[in-house]
Amino acid sequence: MSKIELTIAYATLNKNYDLVGKMENYVRVKVSNGLGGSTEFKTKIVPGEKDTPIRWDEQFSIPLKAKSGAIFEFSVLDEDMSSDDVCGTGLFKPDPCGAFNYGAPQKYNIRLINGKND
């Protein structure tokens, strides 16, 4: 079993998802390991504003079996009283050769798609 160290660094939203006040954003990640199992986790909630980087800088260690066909599902959400607004979603499928490259760090920037039809 191998592991991936994942850092959720930041997001810049081009729209305000709250009508009043600052947004309260977090990232939810679901990792399907390709073997029928999955893990889900989320970052802390951070206040944010439109067009200003929202920083989490949180690191997670995820156990994965090499060449298992893992899929990472990312969602940036704005916490609300009734239901959370989806600000963006995206998928990432790590390259089996690159993701398990003998511990060498690799950096990927994931561009998420806006969660609402604008």
Query: Tens digit of pLDDT for each residue in 46-97?
Result: 999 899 999 999 999 887 776 777 889 999 999 988 889 999 898 888 766 5
Mean pLDDT over each residue of the chain, to the nearest integer: 82
Residue 101 in this model has a pLDDT that exceeds 60: no
pLDDT value of residue 36: 76
- Let me know if residue 14 belongs to a domain: yes
Q: Structural domain of residue 54, as residue ranges? A: 2-99
pLDDT value of residue 54: 93
CATH at 42:
2.60.40.150
Q: Compute the distance between CA of residue 52 and CA of residue 97 in angstroms, rounded to an integer.
A: 35
Task: Count how many domains the chain has.
Answer: 1
- Let me know if residue 111 belongs to a domain: no
- Let me know if residue 117 belongs to a domain: no
Q: Compute the distance between CA of residue 103 and CA of residue 24 in angstroms, rounded to an integer.
A: 34
